[in-house]
Chain A
């Protein structure tokens, strides 16, 4: 069976999509999805929990998901497997929502 090219792996480098505007408001990161350049304020705006926010802050073209997991495991003193699962689940969901994308895409 061929691997699903849409599945996110730890070696992937993920960055915020240009299809969103993210701004910090009173300590919360608010993510506004843009569809065709239009932000629908009657539609959903999103915010991330603390772990999600830590992941988001590290989404740069220089950082792979593995590097992010290593840092989070050290920071939260949590099992690596659990961290990797959480990171991959969140990134997969955000990718499907076109909030993040693979770097270079």
Chain B
């Protein structure tokens, strides 16, 4: 038996297979890059949950989707939703990504590893505010200190030890 490294479409297929195994299934992956900082920092581990009838993708959710060329997986925030299609954007990116069908979402970010596993469960109205903030660039890193203050105020730094 040997170890195996997967990339691109194969990795997407396998992650989707694991998440489709059941509503309790989770996939742990490590993100690269700064597009979602400070929510997801470079090399932070994230936990993905499946998209299903019980938990559909909503505005403001951070989701994992295949890149347009399917060569990698992008973890960005949904900033627009319309008729089964959505558009994502990295909080620190200047431009939004292309529109895509919500069926192509691999998973929704459920927890983010920082000093422990932090649940990422926002109420719909909080999600809308965050989506608007991302869309308008308010979540840009220049405003990071203010954001950290607000985050602590809203209690998002609750840590679950596992």
Q: Which residues of A contact B (CB under 8 A)?
A: 21, 23, 25-26, 28, 30, 32, 34, 37-42, 44-49, 52, 90, 93
Chain A: CB-nearest residue to B23: A37
Taking CB atoms, residues of chain A closer than 8 Å to B29 are: 41-42
User: Smallest distance from the beta carbon of B17 to chain A beta carbons, Å?
Assistant: 5
Q: Are A37 and B28 within 8 A (Cβ)?
A: no
Question: Is there an interface contact between B1 and A52, defined as CB atoms closer than 8 Å?
Answer: yes
B4 near A47 with CB under 8 A, answer yes
> A-B pairs with CB below 8 Å: how many?
68
Contact of B13 among A25, A39, A47, A48 (CB under 8 A): A25
Contact of B11 among A28, A41, A46, A49 (CB under 8 A): A41
B1-43 vs A, CB cutoff 8 Å, 1 = contact: the mask equals 1111110001101110110011011111110000000000000
Interface size in chain B (residues, C-beta < 8 A): 24
Contact B14 A25 (CB under 8 A): yes
Cα distance A38–B47 when bound, in Å?
8
For B90-113 the 0/1 string (1 means CB < 8 A from A) is 000000000000000000000000
Partner of B4, one of A30, A38, A39, A93: A30
18 other A-B residue contacts (CB within 8 Å) besides A30-B10, A34-B25, A49-B2: A21-B14, A21-B21, A26-B10, A30-B6, A32-B14, A37-B24, A37-B25, A39-B28, A42-B45, A44-B3, A45-B3, A45-B6, A45-B14, A46-B2, A47-B4, A48-B1, A49-B1, A93-B1
